[in-house]
Amino acid sequence: MLLIENISKSFGEKDVLNNVCFKVEDGSIFGLVGVNGAGKSTLLRVISGVYRPEQGEVLLNGQNTYNDPSARKDILYVSDDPYYPYGSTIETMKTYYETFYDLDEEAYKKYLQMFHLDPKISISNFSKGMKRQTSLLFALAVHPKLLLLDEAFDGLDPLIRLSFKKALAELIEETGISVIISSHSLKELEDICDSFGILEDTHMSTYGDLLESKENINKYQLAFTEEYGKEDFASLDVVRFEKQGRVYQLVIRGNEEDVRTELQKKDPLLIDVLPVNFEELFIYEVESRNEAEHE
Amino acid sequence: MNKNVFTYLLKSKKILVVFLFIMNLALMLTPYISSMRTGNYYVSWIIGYVFMFGTCYILPPYLLRFIQSKNATDSYFSLPVSRRELLNTNLLFSALVSYCPFLVGAVISGIIGLAGGHIEITELFRILFCGLLTVAVLTLVNSLFFSFANTLFDGMVMIAAYTAMPLMIYIVLGVFFETHVAGMSYWSSLLDGVRYLSPAFLCGNIVGGGSKRIVYYIVLAVYAVIAYVLLSREVVDRKAERAEQISDHFFAYPFVIYFYAFAILCMITFFWGNRNFISFFKDSIIYYILLLFIFTVANFVYRRKIRFEPKTFVFFAISIILSLLVGLAANKTQGFGLSRMYDHNPKSVSYVYNGPLSKEDCEELEIKSEYVSVFVELQIPERLMNEPQYSEAMKIMENSREKAIEDYYTKSDQDRTNTGYLSIRDNFTGEGNYVHYDDSGQYGYTVYEPLSIDQLRVLSKITQVSIYTDDKELILP
C-alpha cells in the first residue's frame, strides 16, 4: 500500500504541494487529475523519490521512498518526457532496465511485439508516440509494485491506447501492482481507474473511489409549472444550475434517492436523472470550488 | 560503489572506454615509432600524462551531466540506488577510464626504460602514483565545480572559471607587487604561494616538482578530501528541481562574476592608483565602462536575459568603491607593509648598483661626457658582515634602499628622470664564482637620488666602482 502523508513541496517561494494526503491500495489504479500546473508531475516525482518533500513522507509498504533506495526497487516512474541517452536504442535501454530492475524477458518480448517497435533503431529517430510506447513497454515489462505514469496516453494513437489499457489491466490482475496515472485524457482514465484524486490549489481537494464519487453526483433534468431560482434549491447541494424557459438542468451532489425526494416536494412535471462521467465530475468539482471561493 | 551502476556504465560506455584506451596507448607509444630508443620512456609518460589530464576535464561533466538535466534526474534519482552510491560509482568509473590507459602505457614505457637502464623501478612507481593522485584530485575538483551549476553549459563555464581563478589571483597580486610594493616585482617569491591555490598547476608539476614534491602531494591530498566532502553534500542534498534552471548557487555565477569583476577592478586601481584622482579617473574611466559592459554580458549569460536591475549596478558600484579603497590603503600603508618585509639582519648580502652621477660630482672628477653611469657590485659574505669597512658600505646601501622605498610612494612618474637602480639579494651562500642565490630575498629599487662621489669612494675601498662615459671606463680610485 502507498501512503502519502502530509506532503508539502515548494519551488523557491512558490508552494506547489501543501499537506497532500492520500493512499493507494494494492492492485488499484489511481487517476491523478488536475488543471495545468496543479502539481501532478511534482507529486509523482515526490512519490518516486526524485524530489525531496519539505514536509511529510511517502511510504510504500512502510518504506520511505526518498530515504530508502531499496524502496525504489519496487517503483517505476515514467515521466512525461522520458530520458533516453543520445544514441540509445530499445536494446541499450533494456540493459538499463535489466541492470536496475527485475525485467521480465518474456513480457519484454511480448510487449515489444505488441507495440511493433524495432529494438535496434536509435530512439532519437522515433516519433513522440513511439518514444512514449518505448517507455510504456519497459513499464509493463519491469513489473514494479508501484507504477507511476505521467501523461501516460500523451501521443498514443487510439489503437495503442486500447492495447496498453488492456495490457495494464491484465498485469494488475496477474501481479496486483498499484498504478498512479496522471493524464488530461479523463475519458481514458475513466476506463481503467478505480480511484482518483483531484489536485487543486496545492492540495488534494477530492479523492476516493471513482464509482462512488460518480454515484454521489448526478445531472437532473426537470420541468416545473412555476418559476424557480437557484436559491429555491438551497436545501440541496447544487453544483450547477441552468434554466431554459421552464426546463431546468441541475447538477446536484448527494444520494440520488434523497435528492429525488427533495425535488418531488416542488411538484415537477418531469424528472430525468443522468449519470455524470469522470470528465464532468472533474469539471463540476473544480467549478463548484471556484464558485464557492468567489462567493 | 554500486555494482549495478558500474556494470551499466561499463556496458553503456564501452565504445568511449575502448576509444580513450586505444587513443592514449597509441599516443604514448608514438615516440617509439620514430626511434626505438629505450630513453623515450619519459616523453611517452608526459604524453600519457597530458592526455590523462585532459580526460579529467571531460569525463566528470560527461558522466555527471545527469544531475543537470530534468528528464535525466527523473531517471537517475528514481533508481533504487542512493545518490551517494550513484556519485561514488560515477567518480570511480571516471577516474578508472582516465587512469587505466595511462597505467598500461606508463608500465610498458617504464619496462622499456628499465631494460635500457635509464631508470630505477621506484621512478616508475612514482610516476604511477603521480598519475593516480592527479586523476583523483582533478576528477573530484572538476566534479565539484561542475556540480555548482544547473546546466551542462554552465557547468563547463564553472570548471573553466575556477581553473583560471588562481591564475587571475596571481596576475592581480603580480600587478599589485609591481605597482605598490617597493622592491618587489611581478616575479616576487612571495607570490609562489599562489601556486598552492591551483590543483591543476600542482598536478601538472608533481611529476617534476623537485624538493617541493612532498608538499605538493600533501596539498593535493587535502584538496581531494575537501572536494569529495563538498561534492558529496552538493549531490546528495541536491534539489533535483535545480536541473536546467539558472545557476544561482552562491558558488556558481554569483560568486564567479563578482570575483572576476572585483579582481579586474583591483587590477585597474593598482595600475593607475599612484596618480592623483583626476588623472586616475580620466585614464581609467574607459576601462570601467568596458568592464561594466563585460559585467552586463556575464549577467546575461547567467540569467539568460538582459535585466537592468538597480541592485546589480549598486553591487558594481560598491565593487568599484571597494577596489579604490583597497588601492588607497595599499598606497598609504606602503603596500600593506610588504615593502618593509625584507630581512633587516641578513647573514650575507649582495648589492648591485647602477646609476648616474650628479653634475657636481662629474665636475669634481673632470668628466665632460654626456653619458655617465656608475656600476658597483658588492658582495658581503657572512664572515665579513661585522668588518667596519663592510658595515659602513652596507649602511650606505641600506640608506639608499630606505630612501628608494620612501621615494617610491611619494614621487611620480614625472620625477623618474636620471634615476638609478639598486638590486639587493639577501642570504647567499658561497663566494666568488660559486655564489648561490636563493629564490627568495631578491629586491629591486628605483633610486631617485644617486649615490654621491663621497659614498662611492667609501665603497671603492672594498669593491670596484666603475664609471662608464661615452668613450671610456674609469675605475674610481
The verdict on B243 and B261 lying in the same domain is no
The verdict on B322 and B421 lying in the same domain is no
Number of domains in chain B: 3
The verdict on B268 and B393 lying in the same domain is no
Which residue is it, cell 568509473? B93
- The string of pLDDT tens digits covering residues A38-94 is 899 999 999 999 999 999 999 999 999 999 999 999 999 999 888 998 889 999 999
The verdict on B305 and B446 lying in the same domain is no
- Written as one string, the DSSP assignment of B129-195 is HHHHHHHHHHHHHHHHHHHT-SSHHHHHHHHHHHHHHHHHHHHHHHHHHHHHSTB--TT-GGGGGGG
| Residue B441, pLDDT score | 78
Q: Do A50 and B73 touch (CB under 8 A)?
A: yes
Residue A218: is its pLDDT beyond 60? Answer: yes
Using CB atoms, pick whichever of B12, B80, B240 lies closest to residue A50: B240
Using CB atoms, pick whichever of A48, A81, A99 lies closest to residue B78: A48
| Residue A230, pLDDT score | 83
The verdict on B169 and B298 lying in the same domain is no
| Residue B69, pLDDT score | 92
Give the separation between CA B120 and CA B124, rounded to whole angstroms: 7
The verdict on B10 and B83 lying in the same domain is yes
The verdict on B60 and B89 lying in the same domain is yes
Residues of A in contact with B69 (CB under 8 A): 83
Closest Cα in chain A to B69:
A83
- The string of pLDDT tens digits covering residues B450-466 is 888 889 888 888 888 88
Percent of chain B scoring above 70 in pLDDT: 94
Domain that holds residue B416: 342-475
- The string of pLDDT tens digits covering residues B83-113 is 999 999 999 999 999 999 999 999 998 988 8
Using CB atoms, pick whichever of B72, B73, B80 lies closest to residue A72: B80
- In 3D space, the residue among A184, A127, A193, A182 whose CA is nearest the CA of residue A160 turns out to be A127
Are the C-beta atoms of residues A81 and A48 closer than 8 Å to each other?
no
| Residue B413, pLDDT score | 67
Q: Write phi, then psi, for B447 (nearest 5 degrees).
A: -100, 115
| Residue B439, pLDDT score | 65
| Residue B24, pLDDT score | 92
A2-208 adopts what CATH topology?
Answer: Rossmann fold (3.40.50)
Q: Does domain A216-294 have CATH number 3.30.70?
A: yes
- Written as one string, the DSSP assignment of B339-383 is GG-S-SS-SSEEEEEEE---HHHHHHTT---S--EEEEEEEE-GG
Confidence of residue A95 (pLDDT cuts 50, 70, 90): very high
**ipTM, interface predicted TM-score of the complex:** 0.86
The verdict on B229 and B241 lying in the same domain is yes
Q: Would you kindly state where each structural domain of chain A is located, as residue ranges? A: 2-208, 216-294
- The string of pLDDT tens digits covering residues B148-158 is 999 999 999 99
* Torsion of the alpha carbons at A164, A168, A174 and A176, rounded to the nearest 10: 170
Average pLDDT over residues A153-176: 89
Indicate the burial class of B201 (C-beta count within 10 angstroms; 0-12, 13-18, 19 or more). middle
In chain A, residues 8-27 whose CB comes closer than 8 Å to chain B:
11
Q: Is residue A155 within 8 angstroms of chain B, CB to CB?
A: no
Q: Which of A51, A65, A97 to mutate to test the interface with B (most CBs of B within 10 A)?
A: A51
Looking at residue B384, the DSSP 8-state letter turns out to be G
Residues of B in contact with A79 (CB under 8 A): 71, 74-75
| Residue B99, pLDDT score | 96
- Asked if domains A2-208 and A216-294 share a fold, the reply is no
Residues 6+ apart with CB under 8 A from B135: B52, B56, B95, B98, B99, B102
Looking at residue A43, the DSSP 8-state letter turns out to be H
- Written as one string, the DSSP assignment of A127-157 is -HHHHHHHHHHHHHHH--SEEEEESTTTT--
Of the given ranges (A227-241, B58-72, B93-107), which has the lowest mean pLDDT? A227-241
Average pLDDT over residues A250-260: 87
| Residue B333, pLDDT score | 87
Confidence of residue B210 (pLDDT cuts 50, 70, 90): low
Chain-centre distance of CA B177, in angstroms?
13
Indicate the burial class of A35 (C-beta count within 10 angstroms; 0-12, 13-18, 19 or more). middle
> Which has more confidence, A188 or B79?
B79
Confidence of residue B186 (pLDDT cuts 50, 70, 90): low
Are the C-beta atoms of residues B180 and B204 closer than 8 Å to each other?
no
| Residue A87, pLDDT score | 86
Q: Is residue B477 within 8 angstroms of chain A, CB to CB?
A: no
Q: Is residue B73 within 8 angstroms of chain A, CB to CB?
A: yes
Average pLDDT over residues B351-366: 84
Can you read off the three cell numbers belonging to residue A225? 409549472
Q: Is residue B85 within 8 angstroms of chain A, CB to CB?
A: yes
Of the given ranges (B23-27, B48-52, B186-190, B203-207), which has the lowest mean pLDDT? B186-190
Q: What's chain B's average pLDDT?
A: 87
- Written as one string, the DSSP assignment of A98-122 is HHHS---HHHHHHHHHHHT--TTSB
- The string of pLDDT tens digits covering residues B269-286 is 887 765 566 677 777 888
Size of interface A-B (CB pairs under 8 A): 66
Looking at residue B248, the DSSP 8-state letter turns out to be -
Closest Cα in chain A to B73:
A50
CA A65 to chain B, closest CA, distance in angstroms equals 9
Closest Cα in chain B to A82:
B71
Answer with the one of B301, B316, B338 that is the final residue of a domain. Answer: B338
CA A75 to chain B, closest CA, distance in angstroms equals 8
Of the given ranges (A268-277, B81-90, B231-240), which has the lowest mean pLDDT? A268-277
Average pLDDT over residues A165-171: 90
Which residue is it, cell 648616474? B356
| Residue B427, pLDDT score | 77
Can you read off the three cell numbers belonging to residue B301? 549569460
Q: Write phi, then psi, for B340 (nearest 5 degrees).
A: -95, 0
Residues 6+ apart with CB under 8 A from A214: A275, A276, A277, A278, A281
| Residue A293, pLDDT score | 65
Average pLDDT over residues A3-13: 92
Which residue is it, cell 546575461? B300
> How many C-beta atoms surround the C-beta of residue A181 within 10 A?
26
Q: Long-range contacts of range B396-403, CB-CB < 8 Å, 24 or more positions apart?
A: B396/B451, B396/B455, B396/B458, B396/B459, B397/B351, B397/B353, B397/B422, B397/B424, B400/B353, B400/B445, B400/B447, B400/B449, B400/B451, B401/B183, B401/B443, B401/B445, B403/B447, B403/B448, B403/B449
Residue B136: is its pLDDT beyond 90? Answer: yes
Amino acid identity, position A90:
I
- Written as one string, the DSSP assignment of B440-473 is SSEEEEEESSPPPHHHHHHHHTTS-EEEE-SS-E
Q: Do B80 and A101 touch (CB under 8 A)?
A: yes
Sign of the dihedral defined by the CA atoms of residues A65, A68, A72, A74, in that order:
negative
Amino acid identity, position A27:
G
Closest Cα in chain B to A53:
B239
The verdict on B326 and B465 lying in the same domain is no
Which residues in B262-338 belong to E strands, given as ranges? Answer: none
Which residue is it, cell 462567493? A295
Confidence of residue A242 (pLDDT cuts 50, 70, 90): confident
Q: Which of A51, A91, A100, A145 to mutate to test the interface with B (most CBs of B within 10 A)?
A: A100
Are the C-beta atoms of residues A30 and A40 closer than 8 Å to each other?
no
Residue B209: is its pLDDT beyond 60? Answer: no
In chain A, residues 26-85 whose CB comes closer than 8 Å to chain B:
45, 48-52, 69-73, 75-77, 79, 81-83, 85
